[in-house]
Structure 1
Amino acid sequence: MERISNDIQALMNEAKTEIENFRLKSGEKIIAYFSELPTIKGFPYKIILVEQPDGIIYSAFRQWDTAYNLLQWTLGIYNLDRLKIINDEKILSTTDTALLREQFSLLEQIQLPESISDEKAIILDGSEWKFGISLADKNVDYTWKASTEDINLLVPVIELMRKQYFED
């Protein structure tokens, strides 16, 4: 039986669950992730970087095709079992892999902030951003709607991840 709902929050929750649903092979580990969860008119997505046991790094991408589904569901009745999810995977080039390893090395040598969320900013309706990284001696996870200047420490890794799928 399919799950049908007229609750927009239930739809968004299901979209979040679907874009998180990466299947890793044995021995693979996620070394970084980046996601954007925009308001309903946006296209929620998540990118992960995965290291294979042989050291090869690839990126994987999942995005809810919001436009496609919302064109189908014009009456505000949503089929939670039929979200259209776009998937893609790409092996990082040797240049991008070297850049990534260099950035990881730099991040391992500094004290990373506990939070990059600007608590003084007022955001009425905006995306929620998430970034996480697994370094040799620490794992960090960040969530923000408005970030502090500390995000500049992470921008090279975020840009590397985004450039795999988005042409800016």
Structure 2
Amino acid sequence: MLAGVLGGAGVVLAGLLVIVGSSFAGADDGTPEVGECVAITDDSKDDLEYETTGCGTAASDHKVAQVRQNYTSCGNGDYSEITQGSTRLCLIPDVAVGDCQRLPGATSGGVSVPTGIDTKVPCGSPEADVKIVTSVRSGIGESACPEDTENYSAFNDPPKTICLKWLH
């Protein structure tokens, strides 16, 4: 996840994730379709492993926001990406207020370049790095977040802003 900086917080998540997936499942050609959700089942390997799952469930980590062909960019936004061949899935977190996420490579002490892909985890887990404090259907970014928010992710297509608070 690429996230923005909020005034005074000094917290930045930098780096756009481009992760090569194993095989796509979903459409007739095997590619998940826009609106489908994926659960990351193993991000510890060179090839990310995932499966399609119901959106809004505890297992669902990301929703497919766009499917791009011929190496086309996801455009403006903090998308995570899964690329196989010339097909790119542009993903947004499938999270709700109160959900927590593990952000690989994340630290609460400054700049971080994620080394994997963010996933939902129980908030009481030692793996939990951030908690979702607001999620709005607008790509406006920082101004959509409460004052005590420490970080955010904004997406243009579809428009969405997710506001985060560090847990440690």
TM-score after normalising by structure 1: 0.25
Q: Which has the larger radius of gyration?
A: 1
Select the structure that is richer in helix. 1
When the two structures are superposed, what TM-score results if normalisation uses the length of structure 2? 0.25
Bigger strand share? 2
